[in-house]
Amino acid sequence: MESQEADKNPVVQRLRQWDAEAVSEVIEFRGETTVVVPRAHLNRVSAYLASEPFLYFAFLSDITTVDRFPLEPRFEVNYHLLSIARSDRLRLKVRLPGNDPTLPSVTSVWPTANWHERENYDLFGIRFEGHPDLRRILMPDDWEGYPLRKDYPVEGPR
Amino acid sequence: MTPTTVETPTGAAQTMVLNMGPQHPSTHGVLRVILELNGEIVVKAEPIIGYLHTGIEKSCEAKTYSQVITLTDRIDYLAPLSNNLGYCLAVEKLLGLEAPKRAQYIRVLLTELTRIASHLVWVGTHAIDLGAMSVFLYTFREREEIMKIFEYVSGQRMMTSYFRVGGLALEPPPGFLDKVRRVIDALPGHIDEYEDLLTNNRIWLGRTKGVGIISADDAIAMGCSGPMLRGSGVAYDVRKAFPYSSYEDFRFEVQTQTAGDCFARYQVRVAEIRESIKIVRQAMEKIPKMDGPIRTEAPGIIPPSREEMKTSIEGLIYHFKIYTEGFAPPPGEVYQVIESPRGELGFFVASDGSAKPYRVKVRAPSFVNLQSLPKLAVGRLIADVVACIGTTDIVLGEVDR
């Protein structure tokens, strides 16, 4: 769904100039820009977006996962960024294979990611490497399985 | 958490680990906080959540888009209309349609009343937490009047489900604006009353001033939003930064304070009630001058009017199809953010082209704000923990979802 509109987005242009490999795809839908980032580049891209004065995405609004089971790559982790100074939003998306749902943690860039990453670990089983305290947060500690995965029944385990 | 050894004036001593909650009157629900104490000073605080987790996001995936609205009421039960609005706007964005202007103004009016009601509950319960019983009785008296308006409009006091995709559920009943006017005209005097009781009250000042300080940089780094962020001096309000539902047509100021303590957050919330009254007044002026439908026209997506359903065959078919099968938005993902009484409330809705949402994620402001509790409470007395939990203004239903 790559469009000319997305290429005109100054943030996307800036990212591409900085490192063309950091952007694997740009999706424009209903006025929202999504930048698909390869897993290996996530930490570098996050640090750049948060600190670069022109961009200044200092506020991480949310982290959430979509499970595309049975398709592969199975998981899509979305980071919703906000720049208060520039009144701008951006979504980063990282695609993960079902057999290895691991990601570098972004808690060093945005401390608020701590609980968001715990929630994604708890409900989807995404493992964040380098997270200071990766434990379940909403479900009981001894819970089995990851409830928001698509192969987990709505009625719960039987 | 295990006790550690700390230095005290009389030599080395062990800290004490104290469990607060999950059943504790000042936690406003079922929040558990594990505190590590050096005497009466908090060394470490760790909030434990999840006691109210009901799997709302999972349930959403098994419902049609319209059915989900009733679930959103139950996320933040002190501001159900804000939740309705956030979700409806997200689905409308997904569909690429907009509610008619008149419906948008009525939405603004009702969500601002919700903000007033929610802040009234906050002022009352926070005062009770800190030992001022009478304010609670007064604020709940006024809140009840607002609840009566909700009941008059939607039939329900709390679980309203009044906003629907594409507009409103029903035309507001006659005399609705007169009822709102009566409540709104009485409110400023009542707020002066609360301020007389609290703002210069020495006990109140002693319990809130300088307590639970968070700096602007920390608040942004921790993802705080709403009065938590504005109390630290950041003038970020979604209504101004990313106007939705015609907020750009209304005049109001973003309220900020720079101290970043519990008292600053109290001042911000009281000032916000006064701003909301202004917005409601403007809406009351504008709404009677407008006419037109309360629901947008989109055959096959928005239910036809009762009249049309009874008189035309297309109307009947659409009515039947929408209520049995639902409607299917195009595949895609949207993230819609609104300013709820507690802060940045986000709805992420992903569609796969079927009649049920593929994924609904609620970015709950209480959940994120609660994360900074250790930052507020560490180094303070144990009694201040109550003040810190109080000014974060959490709703556990929203934290745990």
pLDDT at A6: 58
B222 touches chain A (CB under 8 A): yes
Rounded mean pLDDT of B306-318?
Answer: 89
pLDDT above 50 for B205: yes
Alpha-carbon distance A123 to nearest alpha carbon in chain B (angstroms): 10
- Which residue is listed with tokens 């005109």? A8
B335/A80 touch (CB, cutoff 8 Å), yes or no: yes
- Confidence label for B340 from pLDDT (cuts 50, 70 and 90): very high
Contacts with B, A 91-150, CB within 8 Å: 91, 110-112, 114-116, 123, 136-140, 147-148
**pLDDT, tens digit, 9 for 90 and up, residues B375-388:** 888 888 888 888 88
Residues B168 and B111 sit within 8 Å (Cβ to Cβ): no
A29/B62 touch (CB, cutoff 8 Å), yes or no: no
Contacts with B, A 51-70, CB within 8 Å: 58-62, 64, 66-67
**pLDDT, tens digit, 9 for 90 and up, residues A15-44:** 888 888 888 888 888 888 899 999 988 988
pLDDT above 60 for A1: no
pLDDT at B149: 93
pLDDT above 70 for A158: no
In chain B, what percentage of residues exceed pLDDT 90? 46
Name the segment(s) of chain B with CATH classification 1.10.645.10: 97-312+367-399
Residues B144 and B150 sit within 8 Å (Cβ to Cβ): no
CATH architecture label of B97-312+367-399: Orthogonal Bundle (1.10)
Rounded mean pLDDT of B213-230?
Answer: 91
Question: SS3 for B45?
Answer: strand
Local structure of residue B30 (DSSP, 8 states): S
Of B58, B371, B400, Cβ closest to residue A112: B371
pLDDT at B200: 86
Rounded mean pLDDT of B242-250?
Answer: 90
Rounded mean pLDDT of A113-123?
Answer: 93
Residues B355 and B328 sit within 8 Å (Cβ to Cβ): yes
- Confidence label for B39 from pLDDT (cuts 50, 70 and 90): confident
Residues B348 and B57 sit within 8 Å (Cβ to Cβ): no
Query: HSE (CB half, 13 Å, CA atoms) of B15?
Result: 19
Rounded mean pLDDT of B182-193?
Answer: 92
**pLDDT, tens digit, 9 for 90 and up, residues B46-95:** 999 988 898 899 999 999 999 999 999 889 888 999 999 999 999 999 99
B50/A58 touch (CB, cutoff 8 Å), yes or no: no
Of A62, A110, A138, Cβ closest to residue B49: A138
pLDDT at B20: 86
**pLDDT, tens digit, 9 for 90 and up, residues A60-117:** 999 999 998 888 889 999 999 999 888 889 999 999 998 889 999 999 999 999 999 9
Of A34, A60, A87, Cβ closest to residue B223: A60
